[in-house]
Amino acid sequence: MAKKQTTFGGALFRIFSSFWLCCLLLLALFVLTIFGTLYQIDNGLHEAKEMFFHSWWISWHGIPIFPGGLLCMSLLCINLICGGFVRIKWRLRNTGVLLVHTGIVLLLLSGLTKIITSEEGHLSVVETDSSNFFESYTLWEVAIWELNNPGATQELVIPDYLLRDLSDDGHRTFSSPDLPFDLVLSNFLTNCSVLPVGPNWKPAGAPVEGYGFLLNKPEVESERNDAGLHANITTADGMKQEALLWGAQRQPWAVAVDGRSFAIDMRHARYMMPFTIRLDDFIKEDHPGMSMAKSYRSKVTQISPAGTERPVLIQMNEPLREGGVVLFQSSFGSTQGGREYSVFSVVSNPSDKWPEYCLWVITLGLLLAFGRRLFAFIRTQSQRRRTLAAGASK
Amino acid sequence: MSKHKNLNSMFGGIIAMLLVCAPSFAQEYTKRTFDWDAETIELFQTLPVQADGRVKPMDSIAGLNLLIFNGKRTLKLEDGTRLSAPEWLLDVMFFPEQAKTYPCFRIQSDEVLVAIDIPATGKRAWYSYNDLLPGLERLEAQGSKISAIDSKQRNATERQIIKLARDIHEFKDLVGAMAIARFTFNTESTPTFQDLLGEKRPGISHLLEKAAAIQAVVASSRDGANPADFNAAQALFGQLDNALQLNQHGLTFLPPPATATDQDTWWRLADLILARFQGVPDLELQMELYASLEQLEQVKTDPEAFKSGLRAFHDNIVAAAEARGEYGKIPLEVSLYKADVFWNSLYLFMLGFLLCGVTWMAPRQRWLWWLAWACVLGGFTLDVYGITMRCIIRERPPVVTLYDTILFITSSIVLVSLLMEWLTKQRIALPVAAILGAAGMFFAGKYELEEIKSAGDTMASVVAVLDTNYYLAIHVTTIALGYAGGLLAGGLAHVWVLAKLFGFRKNDKSFYQGLTRMTYGVVCFSLLFAVFGTIMGGVWANDSWGRFWGWDPKENGALLICLWFLVVLHARMGGYIREHGFMVMCILGAVVVSMSWWGVNLLSVGLHSYGFTSGALFALITFWAVEVVFILISVGQRLVDGWNGPSPPIAK
């Protein structure tokens, strides 16, 4: 029998649809999960996610040594489509397996959608106050707006990805027709403090007006980092001003140019919500005789852009889902003045409910696939017993 | 503490002053000369007390505390007498000086004794409060010093010192629960109050009755009109403050009146005193209960009078608790601990396994086999009974804490094994059920103490995020079923490997094929529930934390099980592993399950902080080491056999 000619495409398809690739990828994910978990002990969840699960490769001294989570999951998705849909025989008895594969592919796609499109952060509101934006836990931005000019309400915002690569000697110049100066940002530090320059420590970067950045070790919980940047402005007539922008600073840097005043602020990235939230009341219930919270919930009013008000209760395990944004009861506290505030985790994620749908598809598939085998097993056992009984009676 | 401030403010801070008149604590050593009779014990153990966020019987308070101090729910005295937990607590509360001589503190290391300057005998492990008394000051100092060290950095001795310091505090609190009822005032040098109270040494209940009159005297003397009365009031409230100090952390066994601001929180005796002087109305029942306790203290050396007083106190407090709808589960909880179902199920599983062993030697004795069935079924029934009672008591699904997971997983393993035995009748699954059931219940018994040490109870209150019976019932139970399947598959794989190693039924192919089929079925069972539970956990996380998947250690642990069993099934389908490889991977599957079930909790990292634990590391490492040795032996045997032909494929 003549050997069948194999095309390159066919060979590639066989590889991508193979059981061995599936096993290899599952094992790689297994190893990644173990090391990604252990890595969290000393380096925190954010670092572990970035290094092991949200990466294409894990590198050591710049050399890729192991596939990252993104690569493994992408290949697994291809493997599932090639092997679990195309190569598999489309028969009634394989319905369960097909459903399981469909669910897993959708689950992986929902994860990918979240990584690419979601925005997440938190919103702290003091009782009776309102807010229509939430702040990122880890991403930063530099915002510039004009002071004392009611007409100029628009902010100019420089996003995180244009700041993070400005470490070491990196710098970037930003200009806008709305601004009478150029802004040069440099020396991005992930976690730092601002201190008066003294003989006992060496500041990271050039000091400004006797103050400098003290470089701190990144926190295990990355949301606790306070980033810093050097900022310089140059006006058209060559006048220069410089400042240290620091994430933990309460007040923005105020600069006066050509009789106009501007504020430049480094802060956590902000995202607008399609509605405003007013916290009417925060309620915390403790277990009787204990200081342990039994439940905590927030009575809020959701105010639409048209001004329509709707009372909503947000509590643990019962978030508010509205306009593509989900608000979860996350934490609470009280201000120095004794006013209670509530903290909500806020996520804008188009694939928010997909995993729930996948759950039922996968479960149905598994039940069909394993249920069929279980019934076959029971049938075989009863046949075996009947045969044994018949043999014993002879 | 804030309530104390209120009292202080009533008298311009005079309470903090040194006492003019010394209080009387009636601390003379009264020895119990009789045995507590059964009715007294029953009345005492069914008294309702609020602790750890729920109303529970005094029996549980006694049992849990004694278990923490002593390592057992009973106490053996030096003369060989054995006290039950309620008897011990009766002594602590009513005969404290005698209870201080009971060797109820278990100290596992002499280094702890050396650290607190107590001579180590080298032989004794149990010490009384009085034995430790000379070292208590040093213990306090050492405890404070060690508290400053991060808990992960503490060595074994430091952890034991911290535990002993806590135990001593708890013991003092239990003694303090009744100390306030023994308190009498000395009014000899304060004629105004002596006249008002009509006694030289009145108890607190007497003072409470005259609270309004006392306050009137205080009010009239405030402007300096009557300095003698003012000084007398200073002295009286100085003593009262001293009494309150005795009961800062004692038991809360007074239901609050309907007029109390916080209706959910029960009161200590001290809370009643504060409420009375703050003018809270409708305190008749609480004052009557207080007076009953003082009466009990006075008649404690007369067993009959004590019993009758206790009955009156019990009936009053039970009626009040019933009216609040908080008594219904008290008798149930007492009966659950009395029946000791989980240890008894362990004995039945062990007996069942022994009988299975006997049937291997005498296979024709069918009655022995049925007896083994009965034992394992009995053990399973007890286990399920205990789990059900715990669900009813807490009004929660079966799995809430780590301790619950052991009970639930064990009973699930036994149930699945029994079903397999019933289906296959191969006499394989029943002994597996018996041995895994016994191992599970033994582990549960050992871990119970660890959980009580960290949470105070195995039925403790849950954090806010877990306050959802829907997700607890679905996610946690299904993931636990996934664990159960993985462990059972590992157990069956051990049987296969051992049978091969010792050449058991060497030429009986159907035996090995049947075992493999069973293991395969259990792997599918495990995967089904692990996948469902893991994704359902993500759906829960999406509703509570705002993300479906966060790569949190506990989530990763569940994912590891899914990934591992997917590898096993796909490797088997692809023909990369056969029978032997499949069994070895199932044993590794049990290791993965243990990693997910316990290992990630030991890391103390992530959002699942309510599941963090300690104290299981040694057991876990031992388990892993045994499994690795097992796998090495199995692989070694296969090599020694010279790979005589491939291992057979898995029968379909």
The ipTM value here is 0.82
What phi-psi label fits residue A283: left (phi over 0), alpha (psi between -120 and 50 degrees) or beta? beta
A contacts of B523 (beta carbons < 8 Å): none
Quick one: pLDDT at residue B504? 84
Q: Which residue of chain A has the CA closest to B569? A: A23
Say which residues have a Cβ less than 8 Å from residue B615's Cβ, sequence separation at least 6: B447, B450, B453
Tokens of A368: 């069909």
* Mean local confidence (pLDDT), B56-76: 94
Q: Is B514 helix (H, G, I), strand (E, B) or coil?
A: helix
End-to-end Cα separation, chain A, in angstroms: 51
β-pair partners for B184 = B24, B203
- How many CB pairs lie under 8 A apart between chains A and B? 168
Quick one: pLDDT at residue B22? 38
A contacts of B548 (beta carbons < 8 Å): 110-111, 114, 355
Option in B53, B557, B576 nearest A289 (CB):
B53
Q: Which residue has the tokens 């934390």?
A: B545
Q: d(Cα B167, Cα B165) in Å, to the nearest integer?
A: 5
Render pLDDT for B121-143 as a digit per residue (tens, 0 to 9): 766 788 999 999 999 999 999 99
Q: d(Cα B126, Cα B69) in Å, to the nearest integer?
A: 9
Render pLDDT for A292-317 as a digit per residue (tens, 0 to 9): 888 889 999 999 999 999 999 998 88
Is-contact A156 A242, C-beta < 8 A? Answer: no
Contacts 24+ apart (CB under 8 A), A223-228: A223/A46, A223/A137, A223/A138, A225/A138, A225/A190, A225/A191, A226/A191, A226/A192, A226/A193, A227/A140, A227/A163, A227/A188, A227/A189, A227/A190, A227/A191, A227/A192, A227/A266, A228/A187, A228/A188, A228/A189, A228/A192, A228/A194, A228/A266
Q: How far is A177 from chain B (nearest CA, A)?
A: 40
Mean pLDDT, chain B, as a whole number? 86
Say which residues have a Cβ less than 8 Å from residue B265's Cβ, sequence separation at least 6: A288, A289, B50, B252, B256
β-pair partners for B545 = none
Amino acid present at B319: A
- In degrees and rounded to multiples of 5, residue A279 shows phi and psi of -85, 115
Q: d(Cα A52, Cα B592) in Å, to the nearest integer?
A: 20
Find the DSSP H helices in chain A.
8-16, 19-48, 69-81, 95-117, 354-393
Query: Mutate which of A317, A345, A374 to disrupt the B interface (most B C-beta within 10 Å)?
Result: A317
Q: Which residue of chain B has the CA closest to A369? A: B524
Q: d(Cα B246, Cα B27) in Å, to the nearest integer?
A: 13
Render pLDDT for B585-608 as a digit per residue (tens, 0 to 9): 999 999 999 999 998 888 877 666
Quick one: pLDDT at residue B440? 96
Is-contact B444 B407, C-beta < 8 A? Answer: yes
- What is this structure's pTM? 0.85
How much of chain B exceeds pLDDT 90, in percent? Answer: 50
Cβ distance A289 to B546 less than 8 Å, yes or no, reads no
Tokens of B247: 């009961």
Q: Which residue of chain A has the CA closest to B596? A: A34
Q: Which residue has the tokens 């104390």?
A: B4
Q: Residue B448's closest CA among B68, B18, B13?
A: B68
Option in B423, B471, B552 nearest A381 (CB):
B423
Q: d(Cα B177, Cα B164) in Å, to the nearest integer?
A: 20
Cα-based angle B431, B437, B440 (whole degrees, multiple of 5):
140
Cβ distance B570 to A316 less than 8 Å, yes or no, reads no
Supply the DSSP string of A166-198, one letter for each residue.
Answer: --TT-EEEE--TT-SEEEEEEEEESSEEEEE--
Cβ distance A366 to B527 less than 8 Å, yes or no, reads yes
Number of helical (H) and strand (E) elements in chain B, helices listed first = 28, 6
Query: Mutate which of A287, A297, A322 to disrupt the B interface (most B C-beta within 10 Å)?
Result: A287
A contacts of B532 (beta carbons < 8 Å): 359, 362-363, 366
| Percentages (nearest 5) of helix, strand, coil residues in chain A | 35, 40, 25
Q: Is the predicted pLDDT of residue B144 greater than 70, yes or no?
A: yes
Q: How far is B134 from chain A (nearest CA, A)?
A: 33
Distance of CA B244 to the CA centre of its chain: 29
Q: Is the predicted pLDDT of residue A353 greater than 70, yes or no?
A: yes
Quick one: pLDDT at residue B191? 72
Determine how β-strand B54-57 pairs with β-strand B48-51.
Answer: antiparallel
Query: Mutate which of B547, B564, B593, B604 to disrupt the A interface (most A C-beta within 10 Å)?
Result: B547
Q: How far is B303 from chain A (nearest CA, A)?
A: 33
Render pLDDT for B257-275 as a digit per residue (tens, 0 to 9): 888 878 889 998 888 888 8
β-pair partners for A228 = A189, A246
Q: Which residue of chain A has the CA closest to B605? A: A41
A contacts of B517 (beta carbons < 8 Å): 377
Option in A20, A295, A317 nearest B576 (CB):
A20
B contacts of A370 (beta carbons < 8 Å): 524-525, 527-528
B contacts of A378 (beta carbons < 8 Å): 423
Query: Mutate which of A32, A37, A223 to disrupt the B interface (most B C-beta within 10 Å)?
Result: A37
Cβ distance A288 to B531 less than 8 Å, yes or no, reads no
Q: d(Cα B352, Cα B374) in Å, to the nearest integer?
A: 8
Tokens of A269: 């990235």
Option in B546, B563, B576 nearest A345 (CB):
B546
Q: How far is B576 from chain A (nearest CA, A)?
A: 8
Q: Which residue of chain A has the CA closest to B268? A: A289
B contacts of A290 (beta carbons < 8 Å): 52-53, 461
How much of chain A exceeds pLDDT 90, in percent? Answer: 56
Q: How far is A200 from chain B (nearest CA, A)?
A: 29
Is-contact A130 A278, C-beta < 8 A? Answer: yes
Render pLDDT for A209-247 as a digit per residue (tens, 0 to 9): 999 999 998 888 888 899 999 999 999 888 899 999 999
Q: Which residue of chain A has the CA closest to B266? A: A289
Q: Residue B132's closest CA among B146, B156, B113?
A: B113
Find the DSSP H helices in B264-396.
269-277, 284-298, 303-323, 330-339, 341-361, 366-394
Option in B532, B536, B563 nearest A30 (CB):
B563
* Mean local confidence (pLDDT), A127-148: 93
Cβ distance A45 to B606 less than 8 Å, yes or no, reads yes
Q: Is the predicted pLDDT of residue A97 greater than 80, yes or no?
A: yes
Q: d(Cα A18, Cα A76) in Å, to the nearest integer?
A: 11
Tokens of B440: 């599970």
Option in A294, A349, A362 nearest B535 (CB):
A362
Q: Which residue of chain B has the CA closest to A355? A: B539
- In degrees and rounded to multiples of 5, residue A53 shows phi and psi of -105, -30
